[in-house]
Amino acid sequence: MQSRNGNHAKGIDVSHWQGVIDWKRVRSAGYSFAFLKATEGPKLVDDRFRVNSQGARSAGLLTGAYHFTRARNEADVNAELEHFVQTVESAGGLSSFKLPLALDVETKEGGTRANITAIVREWVTRFKLRTGRTLMIYTYPDFIDTSLDGTLGNVPLWYAYYNSGVPADKGGWTSWEFIQYTNKGRVPGINGDVDLNEYKGSEADLMAAYNRNDQGKEPDAPEWKEAGRQWLIKHAGISPEWQAEDPLDIGTLGAILAKYAASGNK
């Protein structure tokens, strides 16, 4: 993987443990982005998430949100995912979070390496289908070694790496998007320790990559796709929440056809 660099954009990640934050002081100290804990498991919401979201954005920081998964199997993913997405929507909407939304995977409720990896893959797939956005994975070296296989290297990585020197390639990953390099940072505007992070490029690079008006949105769908969506809503009872630009996998297609056939329209 690549090394850290003094010219990289600086950021933090926070949760309720940091208490009340003076976000203007954080921004004035040179920090340009923040990842905010949103949810954990199928029900918990971080009680500082919404106020942190508003405060960080108002101070001019780019924000991302993360979910701490407790999923034990692939079947648990959908409830957690909906909980995460709906919580983010309630804090300004998906598009207001310019940075990637992230899955924090660092505990072993899933048991085996194969099962934990399958849970993460399910998260990545379902999140893309649900939101149109690419999920980022947060994890650390020992967890990759013990609990993930080498098939996730195409998923953006937020890497918790506290050692000096250049991090080695690991678990299919050859680079990181963001790196968390300490949990003992001190930042003006925050009482006590806070996690410190870097982006893989400069602040200008960060802004060019993520501070776009279209961030989090897919390109407009062609008119024929929208016409097809409206037909399915009217004739097959498909939810209006399904968007024309959403990807369509074979399982979803089968479900649509089965629903249409069951309605008596053959």
What is the span of the domain harbouring residue 252? 223-262
Which of 133, 17, 157 lies closest to 84, judged by CA? 133
* Per-residue pLDDT reduced to its tens digit, 74-88: 999 999 999 999 999
In a domain, 153, yes or no: yes
Domain containing 134 — which CATH number? 3.20.20.80
Per the CB < 8 A criterion, the answer to whether 126 and 118 are in contact is: no
H or E element in which residue 66 lies: strand 62-68
* C-alpha to C-alpha distance for 247 and 57, rounded to whole angstroms: 30
* C-alpha to C-alpha distance for 121 and 77, rounded to whole angstroms: 10
Count of domains observed in the chain: 2
* Per-residue pLDDT reduced to its tens digit, 96-137: 999 999 999 999 999 999 999 999 999 999 999 999 999 999
Catalogue the active-site residues: 13, 106
Query: Is the overall model pTM greater than 0.85, yes or no?
Result: no
Q: DSSP string of 30-56?
A: TEEEEEEEEEETTTEE-TTHHHHHHHH
Q: Do residues 99 and 170 share a domain? A: yes
Per the CB < 8 A criterion, the answer to whether 189 and 24 are in contact is: yes
Rounded to 5°, angle at Cα 7 from 4 and 8: 55
Nearest 10 degrees: Cα torsion 42, 48, 51, 53 = -60
* Per-residue pLDDT reduced to its tens digit, 185-210: 999 999 999 999 999 999 999 999 99
Q: Do residues 107 and 236 share a domain? A: no
